[in-house]
Amino acid sequence: MDTLLFALFAGIAILSAVVMIMQRHPVSSALALVGVMGSLAILYLLLGATFIAAAQLIVYAGAIMVLFLFVIMLLNAGAEPKPLRQSFLARALGFPLGIALIAILGFLIQRTVPPDSVVVRFADAKAGSPQDIGRALFTQYLLPFEVTSVLVLIAILGAVVLARKET
Amino acid sequence: MPPAPPAVPLTAYLIVSAILFSLGAIGFVIRKNVITMFMCIELMLNAINLSFVAFSYKHGTVDGHLFTFFVMVVAAAEAAVGLAIILTVYKNRNTLMADDIDSLKL
């Protein structure tokens, strides 16, 4: 069951990511990104991270993507025009180099993490419930948490200052 | 076809994370639209989050989950400010294509 769910949602995530970077229209890209984030939430659940899965759906797939879609619609962004001229080097090497990047990263992971050393079973997850997260967040990680609130305040001010009308 | 393993190795999660990160990096390079490039950054952040949660599972602690939480907060702040910057650039330059925003180029 674990294997089936993992294969299904990992496949959906990777497929949606490919669709996202191949689409020319930003709205299609945004919707594909929502697909990636939704399937990542299921993968978090399989790893036992229930709180993070919920936060992923609410914060990423909910709030951030709505913000993206608002801006896309506000600016009336259309599809990218086809490039008029493209260097021969970019066309010839782009795809192989992309595959090479994935292959190198996968190779390094295989080398550094011994295969089959840890297997993931949903029932074996030791931590990740909202209680665990809350306890760690308000004891061990209290200072970063408070600094984060200042960061969000600065971000709000920055967004307001940047988006207001010039006087 | 070999029988499916009873449980997924941790490496599989890390490889999915690596693939998503690479796709995000590739998308950042090949797309011209600033908003789509920004979405590729979000994709890369998400891929790293998956790695954090996977390592957290390996160690049986909650630390990786908290890092993921902080990355989410920073991503939300970044999205708010970044999209405001994109709005301002669009107001001034009337374009969203990264190639046309080249005032700093000599």
Instruction: Give the CATH number, domain containing residue B75.
Output: 1.10.287.3510
| 3-class secondary-structure state, position A110 | helix
Average pLDDT along chain A:
86
Cβ contact (<8 Å) for B23 and A60? no
Is position B6 within any domain?
A: no
Kindly report the pTM of this predicted structure: 0.89
**For residue B6, which residues of chain A lie inside 8 Å, CB to CB?**
2-3, 119
Cβ contact (<8 Å) for B46 and A44? no
Domain that holds residue B48: 33-101
pLDDT in tens, B74-98: 999 999 999 999 988 888 888 888 8
Predicted confidence at residue A163, as pLDDT, reads 78
Is position B9 within any domain?
A: no
Task: Give dist(CA A12, CA A16) in Å, integer.
Answer: 6
Is position B69 within any domain?
A: yes
Structure tokens at A105: 């990263």
**For residue A155, which residues of chain B lie inside 8 Å, CB to CB?**
76-78, 80-81
Is position B13 within any domain?
A: no
**For residue B31, which residues of chain A lie inside 8 Å, CB to CB?**
21, 29, 80
Of A38, A35, A59, A71, the residue nearest B82 (C-alpha): A71
Is position B48 within any domain?
A: yes
Predicted confidence at residue B1, as pLDDT, reads 47
pLDDT in tens, A138-162: 999 999 999 999 999 999 999 888 8
pLDDT in tens, B9-66: 888 888 899 999 999 999 998 888 899 999 999 999 999 999 999 888 888 888 889 9
Structure tokens at B70: 């902080």
Predicted confidence at residue B2, as pLDDT, reads 52
Predicted confidence at residue A116, as pLDDT, reads 59
- For A2-122, the fitting CATH number among 1.20.120.1200, 1.20.1560.10, 3.30.70.890, 1.10.10.410 is 1.20.120.1200
Structure tokens at A30: 């945004």
Segments making up each domain of chain A, as ranges: 2-122, 126-167
Report the gap between the CA of B102 and the closest CA in chain A (Å): 17
Kindly tell me the sign of the dihedral angle through the C-alpha atoms of B85, A60, B45, A90: negative
Is position B24 within any domain?
A: no
Number of domains in chain B: 1
ipTM for the complex? 0.87
pLDDT at A132 over 70: yes
Is position B12 within any domain?
A: no
Measured between alpha carbons, how far is residue B76 from residues A61, A85, B83, B88 in Å?
Answer: 11, 36, 11, 19
Identify the DSSP state of A61. I
Tell me the Ramachandran region of residue A87: left when phi exceeds 0, alpha when psi lies from -120 to 50, beta otherwise: beta
Cβ contact (<8 Å) for A26 and B53? no
Is position B67 within any domain?
A: yes
Cβ contact (<8 Å) for B43 and A120? no
